[in-house]
Amino acid sequence: MPTTTTSSVSSHRAAPDVGEASPTFEERFLSGRELYGDDFDASQVAAWFADEQHGYAELYGSDPQRHEYGYTALNEYHGFSRLPASARYAHALGFGSNFGDELEPILHQTERLTLLDSSDRYVVDKLKGVSVSYILAQPNGRIALDDASVDLITCFGVLHHIPNVSAVLAEFGRVMTPGGTLLVREPTTTMGDWRYARKGLTARERGIPRHLFRSMVEKGGFVIDSAAPCYFPPWVRLCERFGVATFGNRGATAIDSMFARAFDGWYAYHRSHVAARFAPASLFIRAHRSGPVGAREIAQATP
């Protein structure tokens, strides 16, 4: 039986014609046709938020002395290394970035840093000497920042914990200055059937179907500059077997990228076939906010 932690299926679809069978859960969600949770009402979103609020902290701990961020090489390879070295960011937002470790590669180019998280167990005052402002996430996805007030947003492995993904991406578009940069990476497979308990995962998390992920980023007001497949499961498992932190090592990350591109055609949202398990499991998107020229374009155009 499904666990009781997951809310009932919600939909804003029109009622089927008389005699037409309603689409099944598998047809709607496990197929990747729709993103489960994205059309939830306020009460369903609040219930989901309550389940996930401290989920990551409870799984992996929240002690800064014992915390070790394992995706620095991955974020640099597909994200930070692709940004102009001369760019300066007046205000960077780390969305769901815990202690902010993911932003360390760009701190020397950042004047102001805000961290947003659902849990208050990750509050820090400074990161490598840079002052940090901290705000708590809201269930409705609203970000407590002014319009067009940030010029860099990072969001790595966070949106798949959230029901209303499209609303959050729209908020990214609202708070981002025209020309500002978005770096976002998410799992793009189901991660198993989330109606049942899964070892090592929080109760609600599920990946975002690739085509919906890209569409939601674009509808949030962004232009996608690159969308790189990553996280090739067989290679990650092999690295783990030999004690190599795949995404803390640039060489291992580069090999992961090579495999991910080579087997990209085997991608499926729900991995019900063996071949799909050899396809990349995540997508790293680098995008910029549409609108007038901003710091990103100016930096690129400067000799």
Mean pLDDT of 8-36: 74
In the chain, where the domains are located: 25-301
At 274, the pLDDT band (50, 70, 90 cuts) reads confident
Contact criterion met (CB below 8 Å) for 183 and 228: no
The one-letter amino acid code at 237 reads R
- What whole-number distance in Å separates Cα of residue 154 and Cα of residue 103? 8
DSSP state of 84: -
DSSP state of 266: G
Residues 6+ apart with CB under 8 A from 168: 95, 141, 159, 162
Which range has the worst mean pLDDT, 3-17, 122-136, 197-211? 3-17
pLDDT digits (tens, 9 = 90+) for 197-227: 998 898 899 999 999 999 999 999 999 999 9
Contact criterion met (CB below 8 Å) for 185 and 229: no
Please tell me whether residue 24 adopts helix, strand or coil conformation.
Answer: coil
Given a cut of 50, is residue 302 above it in pLDDT? no
Given a cut of 80, is residue 190 above it in pLDDT? yes
The one-letter amino acid code at 264 reads D
The pLDDT value given to residue 66 = 52
Tell the residue number behind the tokens 């940030």, with chain if given.
Answer: 150
Q: Token pair for residue 249?
A: 């090592």
Please tell me whether residue 242 adopts helix, strand or coil conformation.
Answer: coil
- What whole-number distance in Å separates Cα of residue 55 and Cα of residue 44? 17
The pLDDT value given to residue 10 = 43
The pLDDT value given to residue 100 = 87
The one-letter amino acid code at 217 reads V
Which range has the worst mean pLDDT, 84-98, 108-122, 194-208, 242-256? 108-122
Residues 6+ apart with CB under 8 A from 123: 134
- C-alpha 42: how far from its chain's center? 22
> What number does CATH give the domain 25-301?
3.40.50.150
Q: What is the pTM of this model?
A: 0.86
Question: Would you tell me how many other CB atoms lie within 10 Å of the CB of residue 135?
Answer: 13
